[in-house]
Structure 1
């Protein structure tokens, strides 16, 4: 499935018959009794992020809540990360792997069905990161897996990272969220394929990912499954928090996910302006010499995914081509497809061989240096 198809598929939640705001509020009130455990087999990560957001924004969280899930192949980036700096976007498109921006912080992460995810949502007054991680460690011990905390967010086994976490707090609602991954059998080659951008002179504001030595638990425990891990987490959570309510399965037809507010969250998280337009300001500088054309030094200033300024220094013989190219790029989305289209629209203005050759050569070189 292509990225666009993936995102179009998420939009179908909006077409599912919603419920009124009053009904959504009534539904949310039912989340306010004791500790609860939710689980979902839906493969769409935007669905799960929307579940998290809905619970934080509309449910009255007065007791611990745990939500267990896993996604189809996807790269997620933190709220303040630059996808062009963190990912090779053209490879994601080629392989049908979606790019999704989280509302929480943290770095760029590749996830697939071999990567189990836990989400803890607590009243802020009762929220403790270490205690949450102790719940995960206790679940792993139930499976005969010894692991330990490293730093503030990570869990390791045999000195290799098996789990990372990210966090979000809603001070106005006094609710806090902690979600994290557990690597069971994820495609570790994808980390290098999708999360190692080409070396480019791209200076970005925001947060950069930091590499770490990682491993799948199946390397040491070849029979471990997602279901076994979920069962252990459920047992550990019940024991620690006194959760007595039955496990609740969350599906596309659950009352929660049919709520209008939930579908609006899905639409917001799916929208390109959130995925790419929220990128912090950055600049991209690249240069080369094109035989028979000239030396080029290009500087692009990009704000919220849009080229705010384009400057091209060159000794090429046709200055009108360069002037028009700089003008055409301003205001366009930063990315291969949009920039190519902007430059191709200039071709009818330059019918003579020299200017046309200069424009075409510059276009192909410039596009080859930009991910999309």
Structure 2
């Protein structure tokens, strides 16, 4: 594994850097990146940005907004949050195995006297409180796994910036984001800085793989190409917000695998502008699934025929065909 040194706090650059090493730069080895962002909301690939944020608060506090490659829900980053990215050259080894990537984090915390555990589909907890959320993205034969680590984040900013849907928490008897998240530093007896924690985690990840740390420093050419990705994608309104047409049909349902929302216009009985949003994880790209319904009749028999011809879980992980049909009822 190679540790890519990245000292940027620019969220557009950092998300572009991930894609660069996933798709365009091959170091012939697995890649590790530890990085921090200035205050920003990072939305999942399949989410409707407008529905996830408290825009008045985000704008007045100069909080940036950027979309990532992977699925899952929106998260808040600041200088008190440490992010880790691992890109594996063989995606089949740990595909959808979120618990594997939690192990070095849990091991690192145990050395600080903190007992952490993996929970649910993609969280790491301390005393039942979440401090880490994880997500994955697949590209050809590569896997990108990344996660957040709340260390000394401003949790009040987190709860105000994210426009959290009530059904996500109230249906589970949880009153607010603040009641279910926590900072790692609150549980560490010997106070350490986030820089010291970052160094410990770096050692833990390489120790877990029985490897010695190898570093890679970005070249001028690397930075130029990453900046081009920022200019053409990650820094654009089109990628981060996109067009949000007025939909005349929408339905949202929550499953064990996450929330799924479909929105569309129905014009002269035909489906237009069909979009799928949610904090789910995708297998194949959701755009492929959306295209199957575009310009088709809004007719349950025809819709069921389309669904019967595919496996929905190939697109929306852990959602079956029967559940997806209910989205149209």
Distance (Å, rounded) in 1 between the aligned partners of 2:119 and 2:245: 29
Match of 1:93 in 2: 59
> Is 1:141 matched up with 2:110?
yes
Q: What RMSD in Å do the two structures reach over aligned CA positions?
A: 2.9
> Is 1:236 matched up with 2:201?
no
Mark the CA change 1:76 to 1:284 in structure 2 (over 3 Å): closer, same or farther. farther
Distance (Å, rounded) in 1 between the aligned partners of 2:134 and 2:245: 22
TM-score, length of structure 2 as denominator length: 0.66
CA-to-aligned-CA distance 1:118-174 (integer Å, 9 cap, x gap) = 10110213334322111211122223221000012100001110110111011x2x0
Distance (Å, rounded) in 1 between the aligned partners of 2:153 and 2:264: 34
> Is 1:109 matched up with 2:78?
no
* 1:1-372 superposed matches below 5 A: 35-60=1-26, 62-123=28-89, 124-127=91-94, 128-170=97-139, 172=140, 174-196=141-163, 213-221=180-188, 223-250=191-218, 254-259=220-225, 262-267=226-231, 268-277=233-242, 282=247
- Which of structure 1's runs of 4+ aligned residues deviate more than 4 A? 278-285
CA-to-aligned-CA distance 1:178-206 (integer Å, 9 cap, x gap) = 1001111111111221113799xxxxxxx
TM-score, length of structure 1 as denominator length: 0.59
Deviation (angstroms), 1:265: 1.3
Residues matched between the structures, number:
240
Distance (Å, rounded) in 1 between the aligned partners of 2:65 and 2:248: 21
CA contact (8 A) 1:79 1:103 kept: yes
- Report the structure number with the largest CA radius of gyration: 1
Unaligned runs of 5+ in 1: 1-34, 200-209, 286-300, 310-372
Mark the CA change 1:226 to 1:282 in structure 2 (over 3 Å): closer, same or farther. farther
Unaligned runs of 5+ in 2: 167-175, 251-262, 266-271, 274-329
Distance (Å, rounded) in 2 between the aligned partners of 1:52 and 1:76: 14
Mark the CA change 1:275 to 1:120 in structure 2 (over 3 Å): closer, same or farther. same
CA contact (8 A) 1:142 1:232 kept: no
